[in-house]
Chain A
Amino acid sequence: MTPAAPPARTEGPTPLFGAYGIVKRFGDFTANDGVDLEIRAGEIHALLGENGAGKSTLMKILYGLLEPTEGVVTHRGDVVRLANPEAARALGIGMVFQHFSLCENLTVAENIALVMPKGLNGRTLKERIGAVGAAYGLHLDPDRPVWSLSAGERQRIEIIRCLLQDPRLVILDEPTSVLTPGEAELLFTVLERLRDEGRALLYISHRLDEVRRLCARATILRGGRVVGACDPRAETARSLAAMMVGVQVGEVKPPSGVPAGPERLVLSGLALPAPGLHGTALDGVSLSVRGGEIVGIAGIAGNGQAELFDALSGEALAPEPGMVRFDRVDSGRLGITARRRNGAAFVPEERNGHGAAPALSLSDNAILSRHATAGLSRFGVLRRAAAKALARAVIDAFDVRKAGPDPAAGTLSGGNLQKYLMGREILAEPGILVVNQPTWGVDALAAAHIRQALLDLAARGAAVLVISQDLDELFAIAGRIAVLHDGTLSPAVPAADTTRETLGLLMGGAAPPVAVTPDLTRENLARESAHAH
């Protein structure tokens, strides 16, 4: 980084933090290409962009995790060097990460003490945790072990950690991705409060509705460059999405009426013990999905989604064969390959390391899930040419962007790999498709493509089960929605007859409301969500 005079390009008051002409290259790849960003005190500034647009790189530069190849960062007009996170914290920059870095077996206070200066007395620390919690409405028992906390409570630890250092700028990376609607509302209240105290917030999110609600300014990145700045409140979610991807995003076709197809996927009282200390037991899960419909399963991460997926795929076997039935075949004791042979297909949540082996090529990853159903192995010998042809067919049909003819799966961006995995299963023309978090961390254009593919598959008569934390997604594609909470599944109700608020209550574990309650206030939600834990 070459020290230079701060560029005199600011209009109005000096920004709290500025980044000018930021270039960051990784080998041949330019992640940030001349990015300018100004953040003022007392504002919530949104950073928008598709996957791979350079948001994370810019964020890491501001937090001292990466040093820019070119360009300068300024603090109140002076050029500063952020060599490491300590330097960033010394200037008052704090960060709340998307993936929490907490030790499950330590208590709240112990986890916070880990990042505080040494020699801080335990009682003083607990008092300060209590004081910050009370001031911002972030209630937490300092003596609870982390493994017993919900995702929302865990995030509070991260936020308190950050606030104890009295930051001037707080960077939040996709903070609502793990929260219920109620928990998200609580978070927004805290964020607005921090803003009103004169702190600056840099808010990174895929959820455009949130950005429009919270942020007064937004900077939009595409391909490592700033392509626009706007006031999100003056835009629509669609116009923001269009700026992010550079083209108009087509809306997916809404699902048609109730299908009359046969029952293809039936769960009857599926019960499974928790797979580990921190897993969730499934308890009496019953559900029926007919051919031609998409059923959505809403719920907050960690309420049994992974366990339900494993039980459906056959990676975990049910205690009774009849608990899982695919096309009237008792499948509870069948392995995943036998279920695939019977016409089922699966796309797990985790792409790298579960749905795909990142070190293997795309054609090898075609073999991974299709070796038995696409004739890719004959008498135990692989048919490489057939695997390559299948990979090519998926790449063409789903517009997968990649470098080289048959690259390792791990080199694809999240959205492109997800399109590949979706295509790999959908081209099998499965009668039953189970997908966990189909568009998690996927950009708007790819997400629209994937949702359309799911709708098309259902229209061809398949039963599609979508497990998702994203209520917008479920309302966009699912005909019926059920909620998974703590390993139990609520009855699936037509999406048209329910509301986000009702589902939010069920996701938080509140008793199912007798009728739709559209006049739910924020206070009610907060109370319900506090009860749930």
Chain B
Amino acid sequence: MRIDLTPRADRSALTDALAPVLAFLAALVIGGFVVAAMGRSPAAAFVTYFVAPLSEVWSLQEVALKAAPLALIATGLAFCFRANVWNIGAEGQFVVGGLFGGWIGVASHGATGNTLWVLPLMLAVGACAGMLYALIPALLKVRLGVSEILTSLMLVYVAELLLDYMARGPLRDPAGFNFPQSVTFDDAARLPYLMEGDTLHAGVAIALAAIVVATLVLARTLFGFTVRVVGASPRAARFAGFSDARLTLAVFAVSGGAAGLAGISEVAGKIGQLQPSISPGYGFTAIIVAFLGRLSPVGILVAALVIALTTIGGEGAQIDLKLPLDLTRAFQGLLLALVLGADALSRYRVRLVPGAAA
């Protein structure tokens, strides 16, 4: 028995658009069976996961706050993945961006006079730190041919341990009763709230702006064109005169910068100080988001909202239905597998060839 995949000649925009929707419905059905097998009501679980978070203003804001860093990181990663460059270390670039940007926040604590420069400097330093940190695996790949998958991943642990050390050591609040955290930032070092009395801060606006900019860059600039061609046909990209090495450095810089900016936005936004850990795995989840969104900025926005929704809903399910957090993670993984599968089925016709050797 052999399975043949033949490209469909009759692909339509409609099936392309419907494929992820059907995959989502299939994931709901499978998830419902799992919930039932665990002895809970699938209907109640559906309400807790997907309806409750959307029914109140505060939980809608929570969804947006969760989605913002995911969308920002994934948008940067889309440049890498489209160019067949594998940056798996966005988590580390996120942490480094938060750490060095946050350092400015710690250093400027208690500054007097005009403090308008503090926040822009924090954001710039955060983005640059993420960019430079991402250039380490990029340079190792371009100069020495080292696999960027391994180096970028391993540098995540370096970054996490560095933040852990800094938050417990040099940057610890001297008046903080030995808690492993820095001083709380001044208001000048915090991202402003979008509306008075809400939790929604400017990090959400930064993520939305990044999605608009990325869409324009991919569609309208020579750099975006280069990224698309290298991903689609590397040999044709060389014929076009685009250098592999320069592009590898550029897409690592873009994705590292986006991750670093997301990191400092999180630190200057929701957290407001440096802690030993600042990310619940945003940099890794963003890889799923990038592919769920098919590497297009608008798709990524939708995917980030869906993943954020299930995460917030999953927290509710833990409390209300005593369902484990692992179920949420399993559901997110299932969703990715089904979306990729549905994409393959919309692009290829599957034919079983009985009795044939592979």
Q: Which residues of A contact B (CB under 8 A)?
A: 26-29, 84, 86, 313-315, 335-337, 340, 346, 348, 350, 353-360, 364, 367-369, 371-372, 377, 380-382, 384
Residue of B nearest to A377 (CB): B222
- Are A353 and B356 touching (Cβ within 8 A)? no
- Are A26 and B229 touching (Cβ within 8 A)? no
- Are B356 and A382 touching (Cβ within 8 A)? no
User: Chain B nearest CB: distance from A10 CB in Å?
Assistant: 32
User: Chain A nearest CB: distance from B222 CB in Å?
Assistant: 4
Measured in the bound complex, the distance between the Cα atoms of B239 and A350 in whole Å is: 11
- Are B235 and A384 touching (Cβ within 8 A)? no
Measured in the bound complex, the distance between the Cα atoms of B243 and A6 in whole Å is: 60
Q: Among A355, A357, A372, A382, which residue has the most Cβ atoms of chain B within 10 A? A: A357
Q: Give chain A residues whose Cβ lies under 8 Å from the Cβ of B353.
A: 84
Q: Does B10 belong to the interface (CB within 8 Å)? A: yes
- Are B225 and A357 touching (Cβ within 8 A)? no
- Are B239 and A360 touching (Cβ within 8 A)? no
Of B10, B228, B232, B235, the residue contacting A27 (CB under 8 A) is: B10
Of B232, B241, B356, the residue contacting A340 (CB under 8 A) is: B241
Q: Give chain A residues whose Cβ lies under 8 Å from the Cβ of B221.
A: 377, 380-382
- Are A371 and B239 touching (Cβ within 8 A)? no
- Are B240 and A368 touching (Cβ within 8 A)? yes
- Are A364 and B239 touching (Cβ within 8 A)? no
- Are B9 and A26 touching (Cβ within 8 A)? yes
User: Chain A nearest CB: distance from B242 CB in Å?
Assistant: 9
Q: Give chain B residues whose Cβ lies under 8 Å from the Cβ of A84.
A: 353, 355-356
Q: Give chain B residues whose Cβ lies under 8 Å from the Cβ of A354.
A: 233, 235-236, 239
Measured in the bound complex, the distance between the Cα atoms of B232 and A309 in whole Å is: 22
- Are A315 and B225 touching (Cβ within 8 A)? no
- Are B225 and A382 touching (Cβ within 8 A)? yes
- Are B220 and A381 touching (Cβ within 8 A)? yes
19 A–B contacts, CB within 8 A, in A order: A28-B10, A86-B356, A314-B241, A336-B238, A337-B241, A348-B239, A353-B236, A354-B236, A355-B236, A356-B233, A356-B236, A358-B232, A358-B233, A359-B232, A360-B229, A364-B229, A368-B229, A381-B221, A381-B222
Residue of B nearest to A351 (CB): B236
- Are A353 and B235 touching (Cβ within 8 A)? yes
Q: Does B223 belong to the interface (CB within 8 Å)? A: yes
Tell me whether A27 and B9 are in contact in the complex, defined as CB-CB below 8 angstroms, given that A367-B225, A371-B222, A382-B225 are known contacts.
Answer: yes
Q: Give chain A residues whose Cβ lies under 8 Å from the Cβ of B223.
A: 380
**Size class of the contact patch on chain B:** 20 to 34
- Are B9 and A357 touching (Cβ within 8 A)? no
Q: Give chain B residues whose Cβ lies under 8 Å from the Cβ of A359.
A: 232-233
- Are A368 and B239 touching (Cβ within 8 A)? yes
Measured in the bound complex, the distance between the Cα atoms of B221 and A29 in whole Å is: 36
User: Chain A nearest CB: distance from B344 CB in Å?
Assistant: 16
- Are B233 and A357 touching (Cβ within 8 A)? yes
Q: Give chain A residues whose Cβ lies under 8 Å from the Cβ of B235.
A: 350, 353-354
- Are A380 and B222 touching (Cβ within 8 A)? yes
Measured in the bound complex, the distance between the Cα atoms of B257 and A149 in whole Å is: 51
Q: Which residues of B contact A (CB under 8 A)?
A: 9-10, 220-223, 225, 228-229, 232-233, 235-241, 243, 353, 355-356
- Are A357 and B232 touching (Cβ within 8 A)? yes
- Are B241 and A336 touching (Cβ within 8 A)? yes
- Are A353 and B238 touching (Cβ within 8 A)? no
Residue of B nearest to A355 (CB): B239
Q: Give chain A residues whose Cβ lies under 8 Å from the Cβ of B225.
A: 364, 367, 371, 377, 382
- Are B229 and A357 touching (Cβ within 8 A)? yes
Q: Give chain A residues whose Cβ lies under 8 Å from the Cβ of B220.
A: 381-382, 384
User: Chain B nearest CB: distance from A259 CB in Å?
Assistant: 29
Of B9, B229, B238, the residue contacting A315 (CB under 8 A) is: B238
- Are B233 and A353 touching (Cβ within 8 A)? yes
Measured in the bound complex, the distance between the Cα atoms of B229 and A372 in whole Å is: 16
Q: Give chain A residues whose Cβ lies under 8 Å from the Cβ of B243.
A: 335
Top 5 nearest A-B pairs (CB, nearest first) are A337-B241, A27-B10, A357-B233, A377-B222, A357-B236
- Are B229 and A371 touching (Cβ within 8 A)? no
Measured in the bound complex, the distance between the Cα atoms of B272 and A226 in whole Å is: 77
Q: Give chain A residues whose Cβ lies under 8 Å from the Cβ of B239.
A: 313, 315, 336, 346, 348, 354-355, 368-369
Measured in the bound complex, the distance between the Cα atoms of B225 and A28 in whole Å is: 32
User: Chain B nearest CB: distance from A67 CB in Å?
Assistant: 10
Q: Give chain B residues whose Cβ lies under 8 Å from the Cβ of A371.
A: 222, 225, 240
Residue of A nearest to B223 (CB): A380
Measured in the bound complex, the distance between the Cα atoms of B242 and A380 in whole Å is: 13
Q: Give chain B residues whose Cβ lies under 8 Å from the Cβ of A335.
A: 241, 243
Measured in the bound complex, the distance between the Cα atoms of B236 and A357 in whole Å is: 6
Residue of B nearest to A352 (CB): B233
Of A313, A355, A360, the residue contacting B232 (CB under 8 A) is: A360
User: Chain B nearest CB: distance from A387 CB in Å?
Assistant: 10
Residue of B nearest to A358 (CB): B233
Q: Give chain B residues whose Cβ lies under 8 Å from the Cβ of A29.
A: 9
Q: Give chain B residues whose Cβ lies under 8 Å from the Cβ of A381.
A: 220-222
- Are B222 and A382 touching (Cβ within 8 A)? yes
User: Chain A nearest CB: distance from B196 CB in Å?
Assistant: 39
User: Chain B nearest CB: distance from A208 CB in Å?
Assistant: 31
Residue of B nearest to A384 (CB): B220
Measured in the bound complex, the distance between the Cα atoms of B353 and A230 in whole Å is: 38
User: Chain B nearest CB: distance from A453 CB in Å?
Assistant: 20
Q: Give chain A residues whose Cβ lies under 8 Å from the Cβ of B232.
A: 357-360
Measured in the bound complex, the distance between the Cα atoms of B9 and A90 in whole Å is: 31
User: Chain A nearest CB: distance from B5 CB in Å?
Assistant: 15
User: Chain B nearest CB: distance from A462 CB in Å?
Assistant: 20
Q: Give chain B residues whose Cβ lies under 8 Å from the Cβ of A314.
A: 241
Measured in the bound complex, the distance between the Cα atoms of B82 and A359 in whole Å is: 13
Measured in the bound complex, the distance between the Cα atoms of B7 and A26 in whole Å is: 11
User: Chain A nearest CB: distance from B95 CB in Å?
Assistant: 31
Q: Give chain A residues whose Cβ lies under 8 Å from the Cβ of B240.
A: 336, 367-369, 371
Residue of A nearest to B237 (CB): A357
User: Chain B nearest CB: distance from A381 CB in Å?
Assistant: 6
Measured in the bound complex, the distance between the Cα atoms of B235 and A355 in whole Å is: 8
Q: Give chain A residues whose Cβ lies under 8 Å from the Cβ of B355.
A: 84, 86
User: Chain B nearest CB: distance from A532 CB in Å?
Assistant: 30
Residue of A nearest to B353 (CB): A84
Measured in the bound complex, the distance between the Cα atoms of B351 and A365 in whole Å is: 33
Residue of B nearest to A411 (CB): B9
Q: Give chain A residues whose Cβ lies under 8 Å from the Cβ of B9.
A: 26-27, 29
Q: Give chain B residues whose Cβ lies under 8 Å from the Cβ of A348.
A: 239
Measured in the bound complex, the distance between the Cα atoms of B232 and A354 in whole Å is: 11
Residue of A nearest to B229 (CB): A357
- Are B236 and A372 touching (Cβ within 8 A)? no
Q: Give chain B residues whose Cβ lies under 8 Å from the Cβ of A357.
A: 229, 232-233, 236-237
User: Chain A nearest CB: distance from B11 CB in Å?
Assistant: 10
User: Chain B nearest CB: distance from A314 CB in Å?
Assistant: 8
Residue of B nearest to A315 (CB): B238
User: Chain A nearest CB: distance from B46 CB in Å?
Assistant: 38
Residue of A nearest to B8 (CB): A27
Measured in the bound complex, the distance between the Cα atoms of B218 and A364 in whole Å is: 13
Residue of A nearest to B216 (CB): A381
Measured in the bound complex, the distance between the Cα atoms of B223 and A120 in whole Å is: 56
Measured in the bound complex, the distance between the Cα atoms of B240 and A348 in whole Å is: 12
